[in-house]
Structure formats: structure tokens, C-alpha cells
Amino acid sequence: MNIELWVWLVTIGIFSVVIIGDLVYQVKNPHEPSFKESAIQSSIYIALALLFTFVVAHFWGGQYASEYIAGFITEKSLSVDNLFVFLLIFTQFKVPRKLQSEALLVGIVIALVMRGIFIALGAAFIENFSWAFYVFGAFLIFTAIKILKDTVKDLRPDGHVEEYEGSKLIDFLKRHIRTTDEYHGTKLSIIQNGKRYFTPLMLVMVAIGLTDLLFALDSIPAIYGLTKEPYIVFVANAFALLGLRQLYFMLSGLMERLKYLGLGLAFILGWIGAKLVIHAMHKNELPFINGGEAIKVIPEVSTQLSLSVILVTLVVTTVWSLMATRKAKNA
């Protein structure tokens, strides 16, 4: 793909306008979105993301369109995993429902900026070092194993996870900066007795930003396992994040029922990790592996096959989760 600078600027400009407009509206009208409102907005974002597949196909061809839709579905499914952690953060900080929407939106902005940085670094890494695919692949396989272990632990009767990653940093901030115990609307800080105090909402946004950073470490290598084009990586991530706030309120009552989704995400990351390692073997230049020669014992995995595996995995784990929790509820 040969993406001209003006295309990048227009794309970033459109996403920026949408995010800023959403942020301004939320700040002026802090409220808890209804299920209907969330469903409509989420459907619009998903529809736009799917329609963009035809834009990619028209200007750059069907192969890139396949890479984009596979990347979007992967990032969207991984973003659902983010929602479980957001729910945990909001529960621990006792965030009022009407403030959760703004906290999510700011967190999404932070996530998009950080992922933009990771996308640029990842593209440069891949461009200059062919062995980067070994690193990305191994990291995704390691992450898949970790998610699998955490999910199995959560499925046990006594396996409830009570802390999110990054809670130690929040504890450190509480000890070293002045904070209030109460929320003060959408304010991140207030002045009391001539001194500035940060509100719990500020800590919530820090926690969400840190969580986004940790998830970016997983999601960016994952999508680079499906496409090598930075533009597709960015657009797929941007579309996946845009509807995340609405998806949270739409699925907030359903998330506890998606108990086996972690198993599906672990399998998807493991699959993409193996795909990256196989690709690295085909491009191998490391002298201590097969004398620096390519290893083509296993054929490379196509994007179309990966897309099929991702879709089937998500459908199976979602249906399995809903059926299992429904059976347990009726028992």
C-alpha cells in the first residue's frame, strides 16, 4: 500500500473530529447512556467500520480489505476483554454510572494516542529487523498462555480476581499526592484550603490509561500478525476503539455471562502468534537458526484462513458462554 500523507491527515482528522465531538457532548451532558442509545451508537460505529472494508477494497484491493476486516474483528474482540478490566476498575473506585462514560471516553483517547505510537514503532521495527516477527510471535504465545491461565482461574469457584494490573501504581499515587475521597462531578482536581487535591476520577483515568497501555502491548503485535500495513493497523484500531464506550454500556449487564470469552481470546492470540513465528521462519535471516536460511517446512497461514478461525472461535466461545450461564441460572 502506498498511502500518501494527505490520506493519513484526512483519516486522523476525521477520527479526531468524531472523538472531540463526543468528548465535548459528554462533558456538557454527563449521563449514563441507555441501552437503546448505546446500541444505536455502537451499531453505527460498527457499520461504518464494516463499510470501510469496501473503501479499502476499492482503492487498494481485496487482499488488503481481507487484512483490514480480520484486523478490525481481532481488535474489537480484544477490546471486549478491556471492558472486563474497566468494569473491575469502576467497581473498585465506586465510580458513579453517570461519570463512567466520560472516564471511558478519555481512556479511549489515551489508548488511541498510545496505540498510534506503538503502531509507528512496530512498523519501524518490522521494516528494519525481520526477526521482529519471532519476538512478536513469542510474545503473543506467552500472552495467550497467561490469558488462558487467568481465565481458568476465574472459572474456579474461588478464583475471582480482585485486582487489576496497575493497582500498585494507583496505591503509590495515593500515598504521594493529595486526593479526595469524594467525586466532584467531572472535575479532575479541586482547590481546598488553598491546596490542590486530585479527585478519584483522575485516578480512574490514570488506571484506565495504564490498562490501555498494557492492552496495546498485546493488540498491536496481534494485528501486525494479520497485516504489515501501518495504515490498516491504525484504522482498524481506531474503529475498534471508537465504539468501545457505547459497547461497555450495552454489554455491562452481559459481560459476566461471557465467561469463556477469555478462552477464545487466548486461542486467537496463540493462533496469530504461531502465524507470526511461521512467517518469521520463511523470512529467517538469523545465522544461528538454520544457518540463516529460510525454513519453509510449514506453509504460511493466509489472512482468509485466519479470519475464518477468528470468527468461528468468537462465535463458539460466545454461544458456549451464554448457554452455560443460562443453564446455571435456570438450575
Exposed, middle or buried by CB within 10 Å (0-12, 13-18, 19+), for 1?
Answer: middle
Least confident of 23-32, 47-56, 226-235: 23-32
**Does residue 91 belong to any structural domain of this protein?**
yes
- The cell numbers describing 42, all together, are 455502537
Least confident of 23-37, 46-60, 127-141: 23-37
Dihedral pair phi/psi, residue 185, rounded to 5°: 60, -135
**Does residue 278 belong to any structural domain of this protein?**
yes
**Does residue 164 belong to any structural domain of this protein?**
no
pLDDT above 70 covers a percentage of the chain that reads 92
Instruction: Compute the C-alpha angle 140/3/237, nearest 5°.
Output: 35
Asked whether the whole model's pTM tops 0.85, one would answer: no
**Does residue 167 belong to any structural domain of this protein?**
no
pLDDT in tens, 73-107: 988 888 777 777 777 788 778 888 778 877 777 77
pLDDT in tens, 110-144: 778 888 888 888 888 887 777 888 888 898 898 88
CA atoms within 13 A on the CB side of 112: 22
**Does residue 199 belong to any structural domain of this protein?**
no
The domain tally of the chain equals 1
**Does residue 232 belong to any structural domain of this protein?**
yes
Question: pLDDT at position 61, please?
Answer: 93
* Domain hosting residue 97, numbered range: 5-158+215-330
**Does residue 149 belong to any structural domain of this protein?**
yes
pLDDT in tens, 163-192: 555 566 677 777 778 888 888 877 888 888
**Does residue 170 belong to any structural domain of this protein?**
no
- The cell numbers describing 69, all together, are 476486516
Q: In 10 A of CB 144, how many CB atoms? A: 22
